[in-house]
Amino acid sequence: MFPMTASDLSIKICKKHIIGPINLTINEGGITVLMGPNGAGKTTLLKALHGIIRLATGQVIFETPATAAQKQQSFVFQSPIMLRRSSLENLAYPLIINGEDKQNAMNRARSWATKIGLSAHMERPAHFLSGGEKQKIALARALITSPQLLFLDEPTASLDGATTVEIEALLTEAQSTGTTIIMSTHNIGQARRIANSVIFMKDGQVDAHLTADAFFDKPPTEAAQKFIAGDIVL
């Protein structure tokens, strides 16, 4: 499936230019963190790479055919989208639509529920869970199919420290078992903790793309330096 290559990728929404042209390559393994100020185009780039918004120009290429590559990906949204079902059924949903036997799917969902510490809440409608619990369900639902590529759009925004630590642990574990992760975050501390490489975005363009160590040791652009220093990047 890898490397994933975006070439001359650009997005327009209602004829307004949003991001691009962007050229980048993501290799297999590790956690790539997308950072940048608000409106830099992080969410749009994630959705474009995942293929859920139409490209104005360019293409995203995988080593495997597009339909096969699509099946190997998952996406976690900033505001978790819960199906109007029980938490257990939410977890089992991706398995069931992929044709897995319902009983097996439910059993696997139960073991994931135990893993994320929510087994006591599995029969409750998912809408009644707290924000952090919903995000854990959303992450487990994305990981339950063992995707090769996982996109996350600010998964820990507005969550407390304890839940953030739990989610980071799940991401680190997923990465160690072969899932390549691309996530956006505003949290510089989080990026320092888990990132292997960093893509810094500004004004709809990739301003820098390098290893996390190199990025934090010596930010390559003025905007990146300001961002890491906690200054406002305009």
Partner 1 sequence: MSDFWEGIQQAIWLLLTQDAHLMEITLRSLRVTLSALIISCLIALPLGAILAVRRFKYRRLIISTLNALMGLPPVVVGLIVYILLSRSGPFGVLGLLFTTHAMVIAQVIIITPLIASIAHNSLRELWSEYHDLLISMNTSKWQRVKTLLWDGRRALMTASLAGFGRAIGEVGAIMIVGGNIDHATRVLTTAISLETSKGDFALALALGFVLIALALAVNLTTHWLAQTEREGRW
Q: Rg for the chain (alpha carbons), in Å? A: 18
- Per CB under 8 A, the list member of 7, 24, 28, 85 interacting with partner 1 is 85
Listed ranges 11-19, 92-100, 160-168, 195-203: which one lies at the site for partner 1 (CB under 8 A): 92-100
CA atoms within a 13 Å half-sphere pointing along the CA-CB vector of 13: 9
- The label of the residue with tokens 């990026």 reads 191
* Binders of partner 1 in range 47-66 (CB under 8 A): 47, 50, 52
d(CA 87, CA 118): 9
The amino acid sitting at 128 is F
Q: At CA 63, angle to CA 41 and CA 77, rounded to 5?
A: 35
Output the six-digit token pair for 221. 């652009």
- Kindly state the smallest distance separating residue 124's Cβ from partner 1, in Å: 8
Q: Which is nearer to partner 1, 66 or 169 (CB)?
A: 66
Q: Which is nearer to partner 1, 82 or 223 (CB)?
A: 82
How does DSSP classify residue 233?
Answer: P
- Kindly state the smallest distance separating residue 234's Cβ from partner 1, in Å: 29
User: Does 84 participate in binding partner 1 (rule CB under 8 A)?
Assistant: yes
Q: Which is nearer to partner 1, 12 or 85 (CB)?
A: 85
User: Does 78 participate in binding partner 1 (rule CB under 8 A)?
Assistant: no
Specify the DSSP element, H or E, that contains 182.
Answer: strand 180-184
Binding residues (CB under 8 A) for partner 1: these are 47, 50, 52, 70-71, 73-75, 77, 81, 83-85, 93-94, 97, 124-125, 127-128
